[in-house]
């Protein structure tokens, strides 16, 4: 007769291990629950979707609700088109409850490797999780990326990564520089302005910007529709729309790249800025734009064009890194030519899946998480 620990190992090694209980982890757990397939899920934090508890207060999804929900549970009719952060948190909690998703909380996986036919994940606390398949759902935004500049350590003001930014109220009356104009940087600058701070942006190069709603239609839906046409049509219309609706920001310090938004996304994975009001504030002169930082002084910043300006605080909206190499034993087949993680199935490592890393498809990450969770679950089911 098998001992309990042997039985546990055998049962575990016939099931799937999901690492991370953000939206991607919840999505694949929801799919496996639907198919009545066994799985275990671990999460380093103490709640599901912890990033959404942490994100800044004013955040609403930039993607529409019908294209942003998890599998088998649309958002409630009563919720608005662009879901507010706190409603999303409640939705993720309700999803976990409804689909009976009970992660092992407080478990940080520090190693994932193949042993024989099975996968073995080990936590920092020494727990061992054997599994037939592993689905990595640790997020594209796992580690904040914090560039270093000359003299940074001398700066007397506050320097904080956008990961820790909650509201502009804490900065009212202060001169604040937001470094980086991706979606987060653009919205944080707007939030700072609306909360009474003197907000500026430091912008590194040309940026594709699209309005969240264009000609009465969500830009996400338009992008998906245009992606079905030959590229030349979608790229031309997309670029034209951006020119017509956003206008020329070059007098304010922001150039438009030659490449169309859709093509840039397709080829480099760089998402255009989906504007929710920052552009108008820049045009009105309420948010100033500076070029790349050259170096820090004690109280001021020297920019690449020789301009020098004093600031009370710096918010680094400089993005994140998935940092998969920190725990994956083998990188075979993991990264593509742009250095981004492969999506869904790692062909070179049977039984290993990645969910939540598709930066190339128009429509947003939540939509691709829903789509790919289905592909992964179907693939796992075919091997059961
Ligand atoms: C500010 C912001 C706004 C966004 N808005 C939109 C939007 O409008 N529409 C859209 O489609 N997408 C949006 N996204 C992108 C994306 O949908 C979200 O980042 C989403 O949370 C991704 O889900 P995820 O599960 O892949 O990653 P995460 O939410 O980051 O979840 C990963 C989980 O893995 C856990 N974890 C990490 N490492 C380990 C480990 N070693 N061991 C155990 N657990 C671990 C983490 O604690 C976390 O809970 C936005 C992203 C950001 C940052």
Q: How is 141-201 classified by DSSP, letter by letter?
A: TSEE-----BTGGG--SEEEEGGG---GGGGTTSEEEEE--SHHHHHHHHHHHHTT-EEEE
320 confidence band (pLDDT: 50, 70, 90)? very high
Predicted confidence (pLDDT) at residue 296 exceeds the cutoff of 80:
yes
- Residue whose CB lies within 8 A of the most ligand 1 atoms, among 26, 51, 64, for a mutation test: 51
Instruction: Give the pLDDT of residue 12.
Output: 59
In this prediction, what percent of the chain has a pLDDT beyond 70?
A: 97
10 confidence band (pLDDT: 50, 70, 90)? very low
Residue 183 CA, ligand 1 centroid: distance in Å: 15
13 confidence band (pLDDT: 50, 70, 90)? low
pLDDT, average across residues 237-266: 92
Q: What is the rounded distance in angstroms from the CA atom of residue 356 to the CA atom of residue 65? A: 18
Residue 49 CA, ligand 1 centroid: distance in Å: 7
Q: What is the rounded distance in angstroms from the CA atom of residue 259 to the CA atom of residue 266? A: 11
Half-sphere exposure of 9 (CA within 13 A, CB side): 10
Instruction: Give the pLDDT of residue 215.
Output: 84
- Residue whose CB lies within 8 A of the most ligand 1 atoms, among 50, 134, 142, 321, for a mutation test: 142
Q: What is the rounded distance in angstroms from the CA atom of residue 63 to the CA atom of residue 221? A: 9
Predicted confidence (pLDDT) at residue 275 exceeds the cutoff of 70:
yes
pLDDT, average across residues 311-327: 97
79 confidence band (pLDDT: 50, 70, 90)? very high
Q: What is the rounded distance in angstroms from the CA atom of residue 326 to the CA atom of residue 110? A: 7
Instruction: Give the pLDDT of residue 2.
Output: 43
Ligand 1, atom 49: nearest CA belongs to which residue?
22
Q: Are 58 and 215 in contact (CB under 8 A)?
A: no
- Residue whose CB lies within 8 A of the most ligand 1 atoms, among 18, 19, 20, 344, for a mutation test: 20
Ligand 1, atom 5: nearest CA belongs to which residue?
61
Predicted confidence (pLDDT) at residue 8 exceeds the cutoff of 70:
no
In sequence order, the 6+-apart residues with CB closer than 8 A to the CB of 44 are 20, 106, 107, 108, 109
Q: Which residues line ligand 1 (CB under 6 A)?
A: 19-25, 42-45, 49-51, 55, 59, 61-63, 68, 107-109, 137-139, 141-142, 184, 327, 356, 364-367
Ligand 1, atom 3: nearest CA belongs to which residue?
61
Terminal-to-terminal C-alpha distance of the chain: 24
Instruction: Give the pLDDT of residue 4.
Output: 47
- Residue whose CB lies within 8 A of the most ligand 1 atoms, among 28, 44, 57, for a mutation test: 44
- Residue whose CB lies within 8 A of the most ligand 1 atoms, among 67, 275, 356, 358, for a mutation test: 356
Residues paired with residue 129 on neighbouring β-strands, in sequence order:
121
Ligand 1, atom 38: nearest CA belongs to which residue?
138
Atom of ligand 1 nearest to the CA of 67: 11
Residue 178 CA, ligand 1 centroid: distance in Å: 22
Half-sphere exposure of 116 (CA within 13 A, CB side): 5
Atom of ligand 1 nearest to the CA of 48: 49
Q: What are phi and psi of 16, to 5 degrees?
A: -105, 140
* Mean pLDDT over each residue of the chain, to the nearest integer: 94
Q: What is the rounded distance in angstroms from the CA atom of residue 182 to the CA atom of residue 275? A: 10
Q: What are phi and psi of 107, to 5 degrees?
A: -115, 115
Residue 323 CA, ligand 1 centroid: distance in Å: 13
Atom of ligand 1 nearest to the CA of 55: 1
3-state secondary structure at position 9: helix
Lowest-confidence segment of 3-12, 34-43, 57-66 by average pLDDT: 3-12
Atom of ligand 1 nearest to the CA of 24: 25
Predicted confidence (pLDDT) at residue 327 exceeds the cutoff of 50:
yes
Q: What are phi and psi of 255, to 5 degrees?
A: -90, 155
pLDDT, average across residues 340-367: 93
Atom of ligand 1 nearest to the CA of 369: 26
Residue 50 CA, ligand 1 centroid: distance in Å: 8
Predicted confidence (pLDDT) at residue 1 exceeds the cutoff of 60:
no
3-state secondary structure at position 378: helix
Atom of ligand 1 nearest to the CA of 368: 11
Q: What is the rounded distance in angstroms from the CA atom of residue 315 to the CA atom of residue 119? A: 40
Q: Are strands 308-310 and 300-303 parallel, antiparallel or unpaired?
A: antiparallel
Residue 370 CA, ligand 1 centroid: distance in Å: 13
Residue 164 CA, ligand 1 centroid: distance in Å: 15
Instruction: Give the pLDDT of residue 291.
Output: 98
In sequence order, the 6+-apart residues with CB closer than 8 A to the CB of 294 are 149, 150, 301, 302, 303, 304
For the segment 150-203, what is each residue's pLDDT rounded down to a tens digit? 999 999 999 999 999 999 999 999 999 999 999 999 999 999 999 999 999 999
Q: What is the rounded distance in angstroms from the CA atom of residue 114 to the CA atom of residue 127? A: 16
């Amino acid at each position: 007769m098998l001992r309990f620990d042997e039985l546990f190992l055998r049962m575990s090694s016939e099931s799937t291990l999901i690492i991370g209980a953000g939206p991607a982890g919840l999505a694949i757990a929801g799919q496996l629950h639907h198919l009545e397939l066994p799985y275990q899920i671990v999460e380093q934090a103490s709640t599901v979707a912890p990033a959404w508890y942490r994100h800044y207060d004013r955040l609403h999804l930039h993607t529409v609700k019908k294209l942003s929900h998890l599998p088998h549970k649309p958002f409630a009719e009563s919720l608005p088109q662009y879901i507010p952060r706190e409603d999303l948190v409640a939705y993720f909690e309700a999803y976990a409850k409804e689909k009976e998703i009970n992660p092992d909380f407080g478990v940080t996986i520090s190693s994932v490797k193949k042993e024989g036919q099975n996968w073995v994940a080990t936590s920092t606390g020494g727990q061992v999780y054997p599994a037939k398949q592993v689905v990595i759902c640790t997020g594209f935004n796992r580690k904040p990326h914090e560039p270093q500049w000359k003299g940074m350590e001398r700066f007397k003001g506050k320097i904080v990564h956008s990961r820790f930014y909650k509201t502009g109220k804490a900065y009212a009356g202060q001169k604040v520089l937001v470094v980086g104009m991706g979606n987060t940087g653009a919205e944080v600058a707007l939030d700072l302005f609306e909360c009474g701070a003197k907000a500026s942006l430091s912008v590194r190069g040309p940026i594709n910007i699209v309005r969240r709603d264009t000609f009465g239609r969500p830009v996400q839906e338009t992008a998906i529709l245009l992606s079905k046409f030959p590229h030349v049509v979608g790229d031309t219309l997309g670029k034209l729309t951006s020119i017509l609706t956003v206008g020329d920001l070059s007098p304010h310090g922001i150039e438009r790249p030659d490449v169309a938004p859709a093509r840039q996304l397709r080829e480099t994975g760089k998402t255009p800025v989906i504007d929710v009001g920052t552009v108008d504030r820049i045009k009105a002169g309420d948010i100033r734009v500076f070029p790349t930082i050259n170096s820090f002084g004690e109280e001021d910043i020297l920019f690449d064009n020789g301009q020098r300006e004093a600031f009370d605080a710096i918010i680094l909206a400089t993005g994140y890194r998935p940092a998969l190499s920190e725990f994956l034993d083998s990188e075979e087949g993991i990264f593509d030519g742009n250095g981004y993680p492969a999506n869904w199935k790692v062909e070179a490592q049977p039984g290993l899946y990645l969910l939540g890393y598709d930066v190339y498809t128009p429509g947003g990450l939540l939509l691709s998480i829903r789509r790919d969770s289905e592909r992964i679950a179907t693939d796992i089911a075919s091997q059961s």
